[in-house]
Structure formats: C-alpha cells, structure tokens
C-alpha cells in the first residue's frame, strides 16, 4: 500500500516551477504576478491566502493580496477586478471564496478576465474544459489528477467514482478523468446505495465535507483513493475517508493532512505561470 506523499510531490512541482520562473525572467525580463482578493476575516481563508502568498514568493512570482472588510460593497470589488484585468503586471486573479452573502459569486467570477482566471471558475474555462479545449483547470482537481497519474499513468478504461458534485472539485474532476478515458460515475448527497457505487471504483475521489464517511468496506482491493476533505473535529483534522480502515484495502491513499492540500497551492502557482505564458502570445 502506498501512502501518497502530497507534500513531497508538491515540493517537487514547486521546484520545477521555480526553474521555469527563473527562465521566463531571463528571457522576458518580467515575472508572472498573482493577485488574491480576500474579503472579511474568515479564518481558514486567511490561512489559505497567507500560504498562497508564501509559496508564490518562494518560487519568484510577484504576489499581491488585496484585502477588504466583510462589509465592502459588490461594486468596489467588481471595479477592482476590472482594474486588475487591465494591469499587465497581473497574470492571475483569484477571489478567495466563500464571499459574504451580499456579494454575488457569479457576478464576481464572471467579471474576471478568463485569461487571468487561475481558479478555472469562469464559465469560459468551465466550458472549454468540458469541450476538451485548452483552459485553466481548477487547482484542487488538477492536484488530485496529478497525484493519480503519478500512481497510474494509464487510466484508460478504469472505473472512477467521484463523491461530491461541486463546481470547485467534483464536476471538473469528472471532466479530467473522462479525458483520460475513465468510465466516470459522479455521486452526491441524493445518490442511492453510495457504498455499492464506491465498491465499483478503481479510482475513488472524495470531496463531500463529511468526516470519515468512506469506510473500509466501501472500497475494494487495489483502489486508488484520493481524499479532498479537510474536517476539523475534536480529534484534530480528518478527511472524508476513514484512513485507518480504508488503507487496509487501498492500493494507494492520500493522507489528511499532507495529501491533496499541498498540491492545490502548487497547482495555483502552475496556473499562474500558464496564464503568464498565454499572455505572451
């Protein structure tokens, strides 16, 4: 059984990205820039954003955080996005979610220039991904995909089951697996016989936000299990998969923490560099 080391894989990826940034700097005398908009005081968002900034600076990107109080009005945020869309030193724009209730998610995401959309949330990018065209790919499923491919380079004909149908993870994850010629089942809170569906999986990706939902007898022998969950409990941070039970039958499994999490940020850096390169042509 392999415990998938997301920390190490992400560190290797960041090293390659740093070399790429160095080369781009030599060639074009400029570096990719990432601007993150952070609204309010939601503690997990503040931690993510700080980690994003630290990682971006470590590989030589230009990094900026624009902070607003949670009372900021929608117009101010939209105008900032329009300004960043026009700024040639900004390659990528990320608006940290969740947003306060009075701000319309869709309006904010739609306002970002799709060529600077490092999250891959803009409808143009969502459409391009599902049509098989070049697009920004959401960072979390991209990280999961890279971890899966490290274990199993040829996914053709494999049965993949995705738990959770969010725009952030489940839906784009499905598209990535489909592109690899997997047979994909997407399941969610209304799915009947969830356990039976999971038992069919050669590859199981779980992103539902329910601590230790997936038990040992939900997974057949030899499955690759990717746990996107990060749940705070009395016993510390746990995933959506019962690691101790499932690791007995899985071929490979991501731990929480130290699995998918570090890959998400590394993929954000990768997307920022991709946006920069696309801006040059």
Minimum CB separation from ligand GUN for residue 223, in Å?
25
- Catalytic one among 62, 80, 116, 119? 119
95 forms part of the interface with ligand GUN (CB under 6 A): yes
Nearer to ligand GUN, 129 or 139 (CB): 139
Q: Which residue is nearest to ligand GUN (CB)?
A: 97
Q: Give the integer Cα–Cα distance in Å for 161 and 3.
A: 20
Sheet holding 2-3, edge to edge: 2-3, 252-253, 224-227, 203-206, 159-163, 183-187
Nearer to ligand GUN, 9 or 140 (CB): 140
Minimum CB separation from ligand GUN for residue 244, in Å?
27
Minimum CB separation from ligand GUN for residue 270, in Å?
13
Among 65, 66, 78, 97, binds ligand GUN (CB under 6 A): 97
Q: Give the integer Cα–Cα distance in Å for 39 and 162.
A: 31
Among 117, 119, 202, 274, binds ligand GUN (CB under 6 A): 119
Beta-carbon count within 10 A of 65 CB: 17
136 forms part of the interface with ligand GUN (CB under 6 A): no
Among 168, 182, 201, 256, binds ligand GUN (CB under 6 A): 168
Beta strands in the chain (DSSP E): 2-3, 33-39, 62-68, 92-95, 159-163, 183-187, 203-206, 224-227, 231-233, 236-238, 252-253
Nearer to ligand GUN, 139 or 246 (CB): 139
Name residues whose C-beta falls within 8 Å of residue 220's C-beta, 6 or more positions apart in sequence.
199, 200, 201, 249
Name residues whose C-beta falls within 8 Å of residue 108's C-beta, 6 or more positions apart in sequence.
74, 77, 78, 81, 95, 99
Piece in contact with ligand GUN (CB under 6 A), picked from 51-59, 94-102, 144-152, 180-188: 94-102
Please say if 227 is a catalytic residue. no
Minimum CB separation from ligand GUN for residue 68, in Å?
14
CA atoms within 13 A on the CB side of 8: 6
| DSSP structural state of residue 214 | B
Please say if 119 is a catalytic residue. yes
139 forms part of the interface with ligand GUN (CB under 6 A): yes
Chain residues in the site for ligand GUN (CB under 6 A): 94-97, 119, 139-140, 168
List residues with catalytic annotation. Answer: 52, 96, 119
């Amino acid at each position: 059984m392999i415990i998938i080391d997301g920390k190490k894989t992400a560190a290797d990826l960041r090293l390659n990205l740093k070399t790429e940034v160095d080369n781009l700097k030599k060639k074009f005398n400029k570096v990719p820039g990432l601007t993150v908009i952070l609204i309010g005081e939601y503690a997990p968002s503040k931690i993510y954003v700080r980690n994003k900034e630290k990682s971006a600076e470590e590989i030589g990107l230009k990094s900026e955080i624009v902070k607003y109080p949670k009372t900021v009005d929608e117009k101010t945020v939209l105008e900032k996005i329009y300004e960043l869309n026009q700024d040639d030193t900004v390659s990528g724009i990320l608006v940290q979610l969740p947003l306060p209730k009075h701000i319309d998610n869709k309006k904010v995401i739609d306002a970002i220039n799709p060529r600077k959309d490092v999250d891959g949330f803009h409808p143009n990018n969502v459409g391009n991904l599902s049509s098989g065209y070049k697009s920004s790919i959401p960072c979390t499923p991209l990280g999961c995909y890279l971890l899966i491919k490290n274990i199993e380079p040829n996914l053709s004909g494999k049965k993949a089951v995705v738990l959770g149908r969010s725009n952030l993870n489940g839906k784009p994850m499905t598209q990535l697996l489909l592109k690899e010629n997997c047979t994909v089942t997407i399941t969610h809170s209304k799915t009947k016989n969830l356990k039976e569906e999971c038992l069919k999986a050669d590859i199981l990706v779980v992103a539902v936000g329910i601590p230790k939902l997936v038990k040992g007898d939900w997974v057949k022998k030899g499955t690759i299990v990717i746990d996107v969950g990060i749940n705070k409990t009395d016993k510390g941070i746990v995933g959506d998969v019962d690691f101790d039970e499932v690791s007995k039958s899985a071929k490979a499994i991501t731990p929480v923490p130290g699995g998918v999490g570090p890959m998400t940020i590394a993929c954000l850096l990768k997307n920022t560099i991709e946006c920069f390169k696309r801006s040059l042509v």
